[in-house]
Amino acid sequence: MRIGVDVGGTNTDAVVMEGTKVLGWVKTPTTPDVTSGIVAALKGVLEQTKVSREEIDAIMIGTTHFTNAVVERRRLMETAAVRLGLPATECLPPMVDWPPDLREAIGDHKYLVHGGHEFDGREIAPLDEKEIRQVAQDIKKKGIKAIAVSAVFSPVNPSFEERAAEIVREEVPDAAITLSHEIGRISLLERENAAILNACLGELAKAIVASFREGLKEMGIEAPFYLSQNDGTLMNAEYAEKYPVLTFASGPTNSMRGAAFLSGVKEAVVVDLGGTTSDVGMLVSGFPREASLAVEIGGVRTNFRMPDVLSFGLGGGSIISTDPLRIGPQSVGYELTTKALVFGGSVLTATDVAVAGGLADIGDPGAVKGLDKGLARDVLDEIQSMVDMAVDRMKISAEPIPVILVGGGTILVSRPVQGASEMVKPEHFPVANAIGAAIAQVGGETDRVYSLEKISREEALAEAKEEARNKAKGAGAEEETIKIVDVEEIPLTYLPSNAVRMRVKAVGDLTIT
Amino acid sequence: MRLLYPENVEDIALGAAVLGTGGGGDPYIGKLMGIQAIHEYGPVSLLSLDEIEDDDLIVSSAMMGAPTVMVEKLPKGDEIIRAFEALENYLGRKIKATMSAEAGGLNSVTPLTVAARLRLPMVDCDGMGRAFPELQMVTATLYGISATPFAMGDDKGNGVILNTVDNRWTETFSRSIAIDMGCTALIACYSTTGRELKEWAVPNTISLAEEIGQTIREARATKSGVVEAVRGVVGGFQIFKGKIVDVERRTVAGFARGEATFEGIDEYTSHTLELNFQNENLVAILDGEIVVSVPDLITVLEAETGEPITTEGLRYGFRVVVLGIPCDPKWRTPEGLALVGPRYFGYEIDYTPVEERYGRQSKES
């Protein structure tokens, strides 16, 4: 038995699954401390399905904690960025392209030291242990506990990052150190940015993981828990403490994977209508289409494998202002069940209008009886056109394509979306994201440049595949189930030397013991 | 004369990607370097060609190497300064201004670093009016201007000065040296006088890039037709609107060659466009017939956002508009076509200017 949990801005959802069967689900309000909301959802769903705590094999949690922390610049640690690259890279120091307020929020501590590699594995400069030790001592003096280490071409040769980390750890034993090659891909600034974001989230990650652990323990659940990553795979608690940044954008990925699973449709546009925002994405062969450009998080460019998602401020909790007519982006969020008119509150929300328009029967319909019929119609028309437009932007051709509606806010859409070949509202649609979390696999990815002067293309590809498999295994995949799901080969251009960049991804089923 | 501030650099870099015709390298790093240099040393003055004295010495500055490496091993910052100093020593003359060898892509903004640091003005022109894959493919070559003495520098402090019998040899040697330098190098080349430059340069291309960038930015903000606005600024023609259905890539002698196939949408439904590229887009083939070819510019824009898509960024499923843009008239001479025409890239066709085929349709629409 698996339990999938999705923590959104408005609701925390939990679902119990046995194999591919959904046994039951609940939706509860997200709480400011997050964990108590998760506990409430778990309690609710166990009660509903009569599943005992012992029957649970694993709990998969998708959470927006870490994205929110960066966006809101809250609970971030002072972080030192150490880059091995001198004499190269000096003109663009770490965090050079960050929004100043975020850079200030983590202290703007940056150090450039000698080292790094060329594309073909030669050293740019030898590693200078003394120099790194001095940097480490300075970091210690400043009392900084979060450190991101990056080195030029570390995805090709990680040894300098690893050695630098050893030295730093000798000087600052209690520091949490993030190595860039473990997170990002080739492209120094974006990978380094991801590593720094990861480092500054270290304390929060520990606190969140501890509070999950605590919450589950209080409930008497001994099953291991996992966090959803942005590529639709899982990581265990220890890994999540170390790599919180990998949870970024996992929410939309989960709902799209869940939508594909529930509907059986593999090529479609998925519209996930939440409480505060809605996400629209394209499913290609059952997986979210990946963003092709660098993805910004809180104003910082990163180069993760992120889903290509269009988000806009429409949800069940969207606040409606009437003069002039405006829907969102402000939302009552998790306070929907106290602030909306149908729940006895005093704020006009999208949900109230849906009830007034007869699209849903929630709360007390009497509370919206007096609502102007013309206004209700205008609001619902506007909502429909917002969704139509978003779907049209994400579609890959003018040809009609299935549109899958999921999420708690689907009550807002009653008419067929323009350009849809069919409208699919699968069973259990309100909790597609939690289901996406529950069905997730574990994976491993490698991204390296190979110089084809020493080895053949086939050997390089075999090596890359082996590395991806090993990483998947390390993440907890059952060895027999590991499959290579993606191979991307990019020749290095403009130069006659034969070098190629290989990106390989492997996934497998989670080992459940 | 006017001053370039960071916000101008943003626009130039965005517009340069349109002029890059799919190649030229991502301007992001060059843009950051330019902005950083302006923050530290103050704004850069941009001079129009007619503000240059006839006897002034002007030198082009550029980055050379593999774009994939450039985003990983960032420059030290003073490579180009040392290359300029080495060149001044060698020539025994002061350099009065710098310029971009290539207004398309990364090298549109590369000269800002040396301009800011050495307080040299940058001239509003370039040697291509677009991007091309090889170093000798500049209008300077057509006017007998030598790429050499050619100075290149790396992050370690190495400097090399080349003297070659022609610009193609400069290309050959400099590329081997660039590999040894770690696949990236900063170069100073095409020393020229103001008098010569007024003859050979493609004028006002930095301003053009800026205007394109500004147009994209403003059209996005007002949610008006980005692609149509860009087409208006560049004086180009819409060749196709479609969805990418196939992309094939291979490496030939260090160049990324390949083909992309587009399936038509809207008024192009049931038509197919094939795009052949070698770093930059070379020819566009509509239903089996070549309709636009080098040296005219072929640019692929994302249909909604107007984001220029590079040949490396072509992916299945993108909805795009393909534009054909007339090249500088210097490229349309027999000498120009011999250097960068379709036959140089292996297409046995005669070059037809894009406006001859599309001019009339465009006026009707």
Q: Do B36 and A91 touch (CB under 8 A)?
A: yes
In a domain, B302, yes or no: yes
- Asked whether residue B42 falls in the same domain as residue B141, the answer is yes
> Average pLDDT, whole number, for chain B?
92
Domain annotation covers residue B213: no
Among residues A137, A166, A200, the one where a domain terminates is: A200
Q: What is the pLDDT of residue B247?
A: 82
B54 belongs to a structural domain: yes
Q: Does A490 sit within 8 Å of B156, measured CB to CB?
A: no
Phi-psi map region of B317: left, alpha, beta (phi>0 left; psi -120 to 50 alpha): left
Structure tokens at A61: 């949690």
What CATH number corresponds to the domain at position B135?
3.40.1610.10
Residue from A494, A497, A498, A501 whose CB has the most chain B CBs within 10 Å, to mutate: A494
Check pLDDT > 70 for residue A350: yes
Q: Which of A92, A293, A497 sits opposite B179 (nearest CB)?
A: A497
pLDDT at A242 over 80: yes
Average pLDDT over residues A141-145: 97
Q: Count the domains in chain B.
A: 2
The rounded distance, in Å, linking the Cα atoms of B123 and A500 is 37
Q: Where are the alpha helices (DSSP H) in chain B?
A: 6-19, 28-41, 67-70, 79-91, 111-117, 139-142, 167-180, 194-200, 205-221, 226-234, 334-340, 354-364
Q: Does residue B64 share a domain with residue B189?
A: yes
Statement to judge: residues B188 and B243 lie in one domain: no
Interface residue of B68, B79, B186, B319 to substitute, partner A, most A CBs within 10 Å = B68
Please give the C-alpha separations between residue B266 and each of A213, B242, B262, in angstroms, as whole numbers.
Answer: 54, 8, 13
CB neighbour list of residue A454: distance below 8 Å, 6 or more residues apart? none
- Judge whether A66 lies within some domain: no
Chain B hits for A85, CB-CB cut-off 8 Å, are 73-74
- Number of Cβ atoms within 10 Å of the Cβ of B172: 14
CA-to-CA distance for B84 and B98, rounded, in angstroms?
10
Number of domain units in chain A: 2
Burial profile B207-243: b = 16 or more Cβ within 10 angstroms, e = fewer? bbbbbbbbbbbebeeeeeebbebbbebbebbbbbbbb
CB A491 to CB B250 under 8 A? yes
A349: number of Cβ within 10 Å: 27
Of the residues A83, A86, A91, the best mutation for testing chain B's interface (the one with the most B CB atoms within 10 Å of its CB) is A91
Chain B environment of A501 (Cβ under 8 Å): 68
Output the pTM of the full model.
Answer: 0.85
pLDDT score of A493: 56
CA A494 to chain B, closest CA, distance in angstroms equals: 5
Chain B residues touching residue A502 (CB < 8 angstroms): none
Confidence of residue A274 (pLDDT cuts 50, 70, 90): confident
Q: What is the pLDDT of residues B241-286, one digit of tens each?
A: 998 878 887 766 667 788 999 999 889 999 999 999 988 999 999 9
- Identify whether the C-beta of residue A150 lies closer than 8 Å to the C-beta of residue A84: yes
User: Token pair for residue A176?
Assistant: 């949490």
Residue A500's pLDDT band (cuts 50, 70, 90): confident
**Nearest residue on chain B to A153, judged by CA atoms?**
B72
* Predicted pLDDT at A342: 95
**Residues in B touching A192 (Cβ below 8 Å):** none
Strands A300-302 vs A295-297: parallel, antiparallel or unpaired: antiparallel
Which member of B254, B265, B317 has the closest CB to residue A497? B254
Name the closest residue on chain A to residue B315, using Cα atoms.
A292
Q: Are residues B196 and B284 in the same domain?
A: no
- Average pLDDT, stretch A33-61? 92
- Predicted pLDDT of residue A486: 78
Residues B195 and B247 in one domain: no
- Domain identity same for B235 and B183: no
From A200, A233, A251, the end of a domain falls on A200
For residue B120, the Cα-to-chain-centroid distance in whole angstroms is 21
With respect to residue A465, please indicate whether it lies within any of the assigned structural domains: yes
Q: Which of B72, B269, B317 sits opposite A152 (nearest CB)?
A: B72
- Kindly report the number of other CB atoms within 10 A of residue A287's CB atom: 18
- Interface list for chain A against chain B, based on CB atoms closer than 8 Å: 85-92, 96-97, 116, 118-119, 122, 124-125, 152-153, 186-189, 282, 284, 289, 292-293, 393, 395-398, 449, 490-501
Determine the pLDDT at residue B363: 43
Q: Identify the closest residue of chain A to B178 by CA–CA distance.
A: A495
Tens-place pLDDT, residues A363-405? 999 999 988 889 999 999 999 999 998 887 787 666 789 999 9
* The dihedral sign for the CA sequence A15, A16, A21, A24: negative
d(CA A88, CA B74): 6
Structure tokens of A352?
Answer: 């109230």
Q: Inspect the interface and report whether the beta carbons of A89 and B313 lie closer than 8 Å.
A: no
Asked if residue B365 has pLDDT above 50, the reply is no
Best A397, A488, A493, A498 member to test B by mutation, with max B CBs in 10 Å, is A493
Asked if residue A65 is part of any domain, the answer here is no
Banded model confidence at residue B364, pLDDT cuts 50, 70, 90: very low
- B333–chain A nearest CA distance, Å: 27
- The pLDDT tens digits for A293-342 are 677 888 899 877 778 888 888 999 999 998 888 898 888 887 888 999 99
- How many contacts, defined by CB atoms under 8 Å, are there between A and B? 146
Contact A494 B67 (CB under 8 A): yes
**Residue B311 pLDDT:** 87
Nearest CB neighbour to A92, from listed B74, B313, B315: B74
Pairwise CA distance, residues A493 & A499, whole Å: 9
User: Is residue A164 domain-resident?
Assistant: yes
On whether residue B77 sits in a domain, the answer given is yes
On whether both B125 and B239 belong to a single domain, the answer is no
Q: For position A487, what pLDDT does the model report?
A: 80
Residue A496's pLDDT is 53
A114-144 in b/e form (b: 16+ CB < 10 A) is bbbbbbbeebbbebbeebbeebbeebbeeeb
Taking each helix axis as running N to C, give the angle between helix A202-218 and helix A35-49, from 0 to 180 degrees, rounded to the nearest 10.
30
pLDDT of A495 over the 70 cut: no
Q: Answer with the one of A165, A200, A235 that is the final residue of a domain.
A: A200
Residue B362 is predicted with a pLDDT of: 47
Q: Tell which residue, A135, A134, A117, has the closest CA to residue A126.
A: A117
Lowest average pLDDT, out of A354-358, A440-444, B339-343, goes to A440-444
What residues of chain B lie within 8 A of the CB of A124, using their CB?
73, 155-156, 182
Q: Is the Cβ–Cβ distance between B296 and B353 less than 8 Å?
A: yes
Q: How far is A89 from chain B (nearest CA, A)?
A: 4
Using a CB-CB distance cutoff of 8 angstroms, which residues of chain A are in contact with residue B178? 495
Q: What is the CATH number of the domain that holds A87?
A: 3.40.50.11230
Chain B: give the shortest CA distance to residue A449, in Å. Answer: 10
Residue B83 in any domain: the answer is yes
C-alpha distance from B17 to closest chain A C-alpha (Å):
14
User: Taking residues A139-150, what's their average pLDDT?
Assistant: 97
CA distance B243 to chain A (A): 6
| pLDDT value of residue A310 | 84
Mutation for A interface: B39, B72, B107, most A CBs within 10 A: B72
pLDDT at A513: 60
Angstroms from A121 CA to nearest CA on chain B = 10
Q: Is B137 in contact with B128 (CB distance < 8 Å)?
A: yes
| pLDDT for position A62 | 93
Write the DSSP assignment of A117-169 as a string of letters: B-TTS-BSS---HHHHHHHHHHHHHTT--EEEEEETTTTT-THHHHHHHHHHH
Q: Are residues B302 and B157 in the same domain?
A: no
| Nearest CB partner across the interface for A492, out of B33, B68, B319 | B68
CB contact under 8 A, B179 and A495: yes
Which residues does chain B have within 8 Å of residue A152's beta carbon, measured at their own beta carbons? 72-74
Mean pLDDT score of chain A: 90
In this structure, are B15 and B150 located in the same domain? yes
Q: What is the pLDDT of residue A337?
A: 87
At residue B314's C-alpha, the angle toward residues B63 and A391, to 5°, is 130
Mean pLDDT, residues A119-132 taken together:
93
Q: What is the pLDDT of residue A205?
A: 93
Q: Residue B148: inside a domain, yes or no?
A: yes
Over residues B151-164, the mean pLDDT reads: 95
CB contact under 8 A, B73 and A152: yes
pLDDT in tens, B178-197: 989 998 999 999 999 999 99
Report CB contact under 8 Å: B156, A87: yes
Six-digit token string for A247: 């949870």
CATH code of the domain containing B278:
2.40.390.10
Residues B178 and B321 in one domain: no
Chain B residue numbers with beta carbons less than 8 Å from the beta carbon of A499 are: 66, 183
**Which of A153, A449, A495 shows the shortest C-beta gap to B178?**
A495
Cα–Cα distances in angstroms (integers) from residue A62 to residues A148, A286, A387, A437, B189, in the given order: 25, 19, 25, 6, 55
Q: pLDDT of B284-334, one tens digit each? A: 999 999 999 999 999 999 887 888 998 878 876 678 999 999 999 999 999
- Read off the pLDDT band of B346 (50, 70, 90): very high
Q: Kindly state whether residues B232 and B338 are assigned to the same domain.
A: yes
Q: B211 in a domain, yes or no?
A: no
Residues of B in contact with A398 (CB under 8 A): 265-266, 269
Question: For residue B341, what are its two tokens?
Answer: 């025409």
Domain span including residue A453: 441-508
Kindly list the residues from chain A whose CB atom is less than 8 angstroms away from the CB atom of residue B243: 396-397
Residue B39 domain-assigned (yes or no): yes
User: Are B262 and B332 within one domain?
Assistant: yes
Token representation of residue B85: 């100093």
Q: In this predicted model, which residue has the larger pLDDT, B39 or A450?
A: B39
User: By residue range, what is the domain housing residue B235?
Assistant: 225-364
pLDDT of residue B60: 97
A88 CB neighbours in chain B (<8 A) are: 73-76, 155, 182
pLDDT tens digits, one per residue of A150-206: 999 998 888 999 999 999 999 999 999 999 998 888 899 999 999 999 999 999 999
User: For residues A273 and A417, is the Cβ–Cβ distance under 8 A?
Assistant: no
